[in-house]
Amino acid sequence: MFFNGDPSTRKRVDLGGRSSKERDRQKLLEQTRLERNRRLWVKQQNAAALKIQKWFRGRKAVEAEQSTVREQFFGTYGKYCQNVDRHCFSSDSEFLRQLLFFFNAQNTDDFTILVETCRLLLQNVRDSGDIVSLFAGVDYSTKHALVDYRVKQLAFTCIWAIYQNRKQLKDQLVMVPRDSSLTATLLLEAVVLLIDPKLPWACKVVGYLLQRNAFALFREIVLTGKENTKSDNSIRNASPLERILALMISHIGQHPCICPNINPQWSFSSQMLTIPLLWRLFPSLKEVFATRGLSQHYIHQMAQCVRNAYVLPNDVSVECPGYACLLGNTVETAGAALSHADCSFEMAMDLAAVTTFLLEALPPIKSSSPEIRQSSTMDEDDMALPDEMEIVLNKDLEQQIAHAMHSRFLLQLTNVLFREVSMVSGSNHGLDDKEVAAIGAVCAFLHVAFSTLPVDRMMTVLAFRTELVRVLWNFMKQCHENKKWPSLPEQLSYLPGDVPGWLLPLAVFCPVYKYMLMLVGNEEFYEQEKPLSLKDVRCLIVILRQALWQLLWVNPTAHSNSVKLVKNTSAYNGNPVESIKQRVSLVASELLSQLQDWNNRRQFAPPSDFHADGVDDSFISQAIIDGTKANDIMKRAPFLVPFTSRVKIFNSQLLAIRQRQGSHGVFTRNRFRIRRDHILEDAYNQMSALSEEDLRGLIRVSFINEFGVEEAGIDGGGIFKDFMENITRAAFDVQYGLFKETSDHLLYPNPGSGMIHEQHLQFFHFLGTLLAKAMFEGILVDIPFATFFLSKLKQKYNYLNDLPSLDPELYRHLIFLKRYQGDISDLELYFVIVNNEYGEKTEEELLPGGRNQRVTNDNVIPFTHLVSNYRLNYQIRLQSSHFMRGFQQLIKKEWIDMFNEHELQLLISGSLESLDIDDLRSHTNYAGGYHSEHYVIEMFWEVLKGFSLENQKKFLKFVTGCSRGPLLGFKYLEPVFCIQRAGGTASEEALDRLPTSATCMNLLKLPPYRSKEQLATKLLYSINADAGFDLS
């Protein structure tokens, strides 16, 4: 070290806080630990090497001894058992002891000897008929230990030999043999003989085979043999392999039985029932398995262990996953057990648990037949899996599952479980654990089934042949009244315990009850109060409203407005609770919307019952912003929001579009010249030439009178309003032939429009655009549409219950047929319908071959729905579709989805009631010396209030250009209505003047008349002059 000029010595400070001695101690301890671990590892390596060497030496010694014993065997009994007789099977003989010791299944000589042994065994038993004495002599009891051991070893050796040589024997494994001397047949028949349940050792042998995982060997044997199997319906006998399986499964679970419990992984259910379409190979085995006792035992076994992922073996193929095969084979036989009158509740619970769990993992199965419903809550496209998860099942396997889950299976399972549920309604009856378990099991099973299986065949059975709706309603009503919902988490494997208890019941109740409402008639619902009383329906509305508000506002699902609904398999790679919540929000909103439709037909509940609390101005401002909770509610459940709030949201959306479009700019490029006496043709020619963007912009109109002169007035919006009112009145006039009237004078497309107008479809497109333009600009027009046609604006399918809005008489006739107690075939009705358009009669078949198919009591229900479908949907499908295309150029479907049909009519035409003059007065400005208490103004309001409704509407058109006021009241009239003094002084010249208007400014120019009579006369003359805008 060099001297640095500083004579002082400085002490080194360790800022780590530990001395060097402590660091050395820690290092020493770590080194000691590592050295100890190294020595332990070397010791373990040496011990393992010794075990391997010991095992290897042992195997070599055994192989040497086996060779020695094999040579001794050949010397004694011959290489092909030439020196063998029946005494070789006795307990004193060395034959079986030596054979079972040296046997190697892959040794050809050993395999041949085993086959010959089985042949000799079968022959001797056939000759003597006594297998016990063959093995044990006259005293089995003293020799049973040795005999049992040899029989167990022989049975397993036969199975093992087949397993090891299955590829060479593949043509003989599964088939029913025509030749009893086939190799595989001899080996299998020997096993059948050895496990006969009448024998004293049967239980021990079967137990031993189970311990040796015999079903796993049988699985591979069957899978190898099934590829070479051709079905032969002429042969009804069971194959030897089928008989072995039947004996083994029949033995297990019987009493008394001392077979040990085995790992579920190696059970019959896991190994054999996961073979695709097992019962096709073994129909006799199916009959044995389907017996009530066996089904109950194995289904209970599955229920205890199927949730463990390791239980099922590897899939046979991607198209045949094990869980799907297990489901198909199980439910195909379960129906027989359920059909027994004394089928136990426990068995049904186990079956529901197994099928629910297996269905959870199943991809959706498409329906093989067209669904009755065109718009279904169970829309299979909406339940599609993400691309990376998509699984396509084997078609035969799909058919097995879909066919097994038929209506009878659902009926039986539901009815057995509901035996334990009280049908008593009301909060006084408490629910016990068994009832809650039954309801939970049914709901869990059906919820998963709705997401997986075709619903067309399920709904009718559940709705009309089970007590499902009544039981679930009583359950939900009682829980609602008690404000306590029991938890049902264990029913679905992925639901946590804090999931609301109403979630599963609503997921099942809503689609089934909705389906019922589609098929019941108006009289049943309103007068007979079926399927639920109107009081209960009101209670249901409250439950649905609260559930939807909870799901969509209080605790909304993540990204609920953008996530597409997926089936329950999302439980394995997503959030299953979110998925089921979205499902409930969908089906609950659809049902509540349907109940609102029923309420609109005939009110049984106040509109406020459908409205949620908490909708305020901030909600309305959020509702027009994508991604917000309020916006999501408007898309999913708009009826939770009061009508006036929805109109404000609708108007805000239109205003935002118009502002983005710059539609109220100073310069307008779209100017129409319209002849009043050719208004429809001129409007059609000029408007049809506009692009979608131009249609959103401003259109200015100049009217040409009958003399070819342009009318006075500059269109600041008022002339366009007048044009829209006149064009809609002309275009939708029934005299023009595009629309017809119902008996209530409501409009719908004329089915025979093509007979009147060559370009009728183009005109329907134009009329759709025209209506959309009126709504886009906020102009109310007097077009009273039939309710069923308004449904088409929302792209809703029409059903039988919508028929009264088109043809009440036809509806009454169809309901009469539906309830007819006699023989309907006597009425000589066929599946045809007659059209009579303008005197020309045509006959249409309702289905192929309908002219030759008579209506009977069995098919009258489909007949009524086909007739209503033809009148409501099919007959005007072209006119409606073209109208819709034009309409949707300006008005998006999602905008009008916020409204039901009744509200949509209000949106188009406003209220049919008298004008609210007081509302107009409270939102009026005055100018030119007038004020609210001026004597002329006082007279004016008295006169206007005394006018008839027709004259009030004419006055409104005179001053605003439209005969109907704003939908939400005159507060929303833009600009605000104003009365201006005209003429300045009250001179005679001024008093002779007529009132005039400026519709673009909603302005009335009113001279200062001296009397009410004079004011009324002059005002009536002006509003009835029909002078166009020349009075301006």
User: So what's the pLDDT on residue 371?
Assistant: 37
- Closest residue by Cα to residue 85 from 117, 58, 129, 131: 117
| 243-260 pLDDT tens trace | 999 999 988 756 556 667
Copy the structure tokens of residue 230.
């051709």
Q: Would you place residue 935 in the very low, low, confident or very high pLDDT band (cuts 50, 70, 90)?
A: very high
User: So what's the pLDDT on residue 778?
Assistant: 87
Per the annotation, the verdict on 88 as an active-site residue is no
The mean pLDDT of 583-610, rounded to a whole number, is: 93
CA dihedral 545, 547, 550, 556 (to 10 degrees): -110
User: So what's the pLDDT on residue 430?
Assistant: 64
The count of residues in the chain is 1032
The mean pLDDT of 539-543, rounded to a whole number, is: 96
| 660-693 pLDDT tens trace | 876 444 455 688 888 988 899 999 999 988 888 8
| 997-1024 pLDDT tens trace | 888 788 999 999 989 999 999 999 999 8
Chain center to CA of 633: 20
Q: b/e map of 183-220 (b: 16 or more CB within 10 Å)? A: bbbbbbbbbbbbbeeebebbbbbbbbbbebbbbbbbbe
Residue type, 84: V
Rg of the chain over all Cα atoms, to the nearest angstrom: 43
Q: What angle do CA 915, 887, 599 make, to 5 degrees?
A: 55
| 148-187 pLDDT tens trace | 999 999 999 999 999 999 999 998 898 888 878 899 999 9
| 95-136 pLDDT tens trace | 999 999 999 999 999 999 999 999 999 999 998 888 999 999
Lowest pLDDT segment from 79-88, 451-460, 864-873 = 451-460
Share of the chain above pLDDT 90, in %: 51
Q: What angle do CA 682, 683, 685 make, to 5 degrees?
A: 65
**688 near 659, Cβ under 8 Å?**
no
Residue 961 has pLDDT above 90, yes or no: no
Q: Would you place residue 1032 in the very low, low, confident or very high pLDDT band (cuts 50, 70, 90)?
A: very low
User: So what's the pLDDT on residue 231?
Assistant: 55
Copy the structure tokens of residue 305.
């262990």
User: So what's the pLDDT on residue 493?
Assistant: 57
DSSP state of 640: G
Chain center to CA of 606: 30
983 in the Ramachandran plot: left (φ > 0), alpha (ψ -120 to 50) or beta?
left
User: So what's the pLDDT on residue 840?
Assistant: 83
- In angstroms, rounded to a whole number, what is the distance separating the alpha carbons of residues 816 and 828? 15
Q: Of these residues, 88, 320, 343, 1000, which one is catalytic?
A: 1000
Q: How far is CA 463 from CA 199, 390, 413, 580, in A?
A: 52, 31, 14, 22
Lowest pLDDT segment from 14-28, 333-347, 807-821, 828-842 = 14-28
| 807-829 pLDDT tens trace | 999 999 999 998 899 999 999 99
Residue 943: half-sphere exposure toward Cβ, Cα within 13 Å: 19
Lowest pLDDT segment from 124-128, 429-433, 703-707 = 429-433
Q: How far is CA 894 from CA 178, 637, 702, 927, in A?
A: 69, 12, 34, 42
192-196, 575-579, 857-861, 985-989 — which one is most confidently predicted on average?
192-196
- In angstroms, rounded to a whole number, what is the distance separating the alpha carbons of residues 597 and 111? 78
Q: Which residues contact 265 (CB under 8 A, 6 or more apart)?
A: 310, 311, 313
- Closest residue by Cα to residue 1015 from 927, 943, 947: 943
Lowest pLDDT segment from 472-481, 961-970, 984-993 = 984-993
Cite the beta strand spans of 551-614 per DSSP E: none
| 186-235 pLDDT tens trace | 999 999 999 999 999 999 999 999 999 999 999 999 999 987 666 555 45
Q: Would you place residue 61 in the very low, low, confident or very high pLDDT band (cuts 50, 70, 90)?
A: confident
User: So what's the pLDDT on residue 363?
Assistant: 79
Residue showing tokens 């919307």: 593
Average pLDDT value for the chain: 85
Give the SS3 label for residue 144: helix
Lowest pLDDT segment from 21-25, 607-611, 799-803 = 21-25
| 896-928 pLDDT tens trace | 999 999 999 999 988 766 688 999 999 999 999
The mean pLDDT of 488-500, rounded to a whole number, is: 64
Q: Which residues contact 521 (CB under 8 A, 6 or more apart)?
A: 800, 801, 815, 818
**300 near 350, Cβ under 8 Å?**
yes
> H or E element: which one contains 1004?
strand 1003-1006
Give the CATH fold of the 917-1024 domain: Hect, E3 ligase catalytic fold (3.30.2410)
Give the CATH fold of the 661-910 domain: Hect, E3 ligase catalytic domain fold (3.90.1750)
Residue 155: half-sphere exposure toward Cβ, Cα within 13 Å: 29
**779 near 724, Cβ under 8 Å?**
yes
Q: Would you place residue 368 in the very low, low, confident or very high pLDDT band (cuts 50, 70, 90)?
A: very low
